[in-house]
């Protein structure tokens, strides 16, 4: 199975800050990577697919990049409504696997 290592596990930032989350795969996943946002008590929401493509309707302050085994998710200017847990997920192989999540809080 492909292991996805996400960091940090939690993050506290101020409104307006640039926030970066990283995700490392245990092998090359060829950009087959999604990023999800999950708010408490809600289902996950797809934000980024194919490592860098913004899902329709998702604000442009969200972005993704990376290649090979190393990927980055960025919020360019943190907003209060961005408080959530974020997950990466690979779809290069079965089983699909998720990172352990990054809980984002407002400072």
Partner 1 sequence: EVQLVESGGGLVEPGGSLRLSCAASGFTFSNAWMSWVRQAPGKGLEWVGRIKSKTDGGTTHYAAPVKGRFTISRDDSKDTLYLQMNSLKTEDTAVYYCTTQWGVVVVGASPDWYFDLWGRGTLVTVSS
Distance CA 46, CA 38 (A): 9
| Contact range with partner 1 by CB under 8 A, out of 13-21, 59-67, 69-77, 90-98 | 90-98
Distance CA 95, CA 22 (A): 21
Distance CA 76, CA 20 (A): 8
Q: Is the dihedral of CA 91, 36, 75, 59 positive or negative?
A: positive
User: Is residue 55 involved in binding partner 1 (CB under 8 A)?
Assistant: yes
Question: In terms of DSSP bridges, do strands 84-90 and 62-67 run parallel, antiparallel, or are they unpaired?
Answer: unpaired
Query: Pattern of binders to partner 1 over 60-89, x per CB under 8 A?
Result: ---------------------------x-x
- Kindly tell me which residue out of 17, 69, 72, 91 binds partner 1, with binding defined by CB under 8 A: 91
Which residues of the shown chain bind partner 1 in the complex (CB under 8 A)? Answer: 1, 32, 34, 36, 38, 42-46, 49-50, 55-56, 87, 89, 91, 94-101
């Amino acid at each position: 199975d492909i292991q996805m290592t996400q960091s940090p596990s939690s993050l506290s930032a101020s409104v307006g800050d640039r926030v970066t989350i990283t995700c490392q795969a245990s092998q090359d996943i060829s950009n087959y990577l999604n990023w999800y946002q999950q708010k408490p008590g809600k289902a996950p929401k797809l934000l980024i697919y194919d490592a860098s493509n913004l899902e329709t309707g998702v604000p442009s302050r969200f972005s993704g990049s990376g290649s090979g085994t190393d990927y980055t998710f960025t919020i360019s200017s943190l907003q209060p409504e961005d408080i959530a847990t974020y997950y990466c997920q690979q779809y290069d192989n079965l089983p699909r696997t998720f990172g352990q999540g990054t809980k984002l809080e407002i400072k």
